[in-house]
Amino acid sequence: MKGIFKIIIAILCAFILVFASGIFYLSRGLREGKNIEVNGIDISDMNDGIYSGKYNAGRWSNQLNVTVRDNKITKINIEDDVTFAKSDVSNELFNKVIEAQNTKVDAISQATVTSKAYLMSIKNALNN
């Protein structure tokens, strides 16, 4: 009976450790990500081309390609996406950026940190 009890305790401890590690991974960087200030960009004198930019921040790390034609952002493609990607979030945000021709847009509701991570990649691409 003691052997079974020890096995149950070991399994329970392992489960708690995995659960705690998962919570830590999911929440690490969340506060910092919400506080990111994304400045606007000026593409009025940019040459046509495809510009690559990335943002590194744990599970929000991503890499994007931004296409500029005739001094306008025409397309944004994801090369390496965030860990828990949702295409509806990226599509809505990218449409906002293309419409505004700027990274100074509102984040997508319920995806603030992910939105800011994408915006930082766009900004980094166009500032390089």
Q: Could you state, in order of their start, the residue ranges of all structural domains in the chain?
A: 36-127
pLDDT of residue 27: 64
CATH topology of domain 36-127: Sufe protein. Chain: A (3.90.1010)
Over the chain (128 residues), the average pLDDT of each successive run of 10 is 79 82 65 79 91 92 97 97 92 97 94 94 92
- Copy the structure tokens of residue 48: 């046509």
pLDDT of residue 51: 97
> CA 35: distance to chain centroid?
14
> Long-range CB contacts (< 8 A, 24+ apart) of 45-48?
45/71, 46/71, 46/126
pLDDT of residue 101: 95
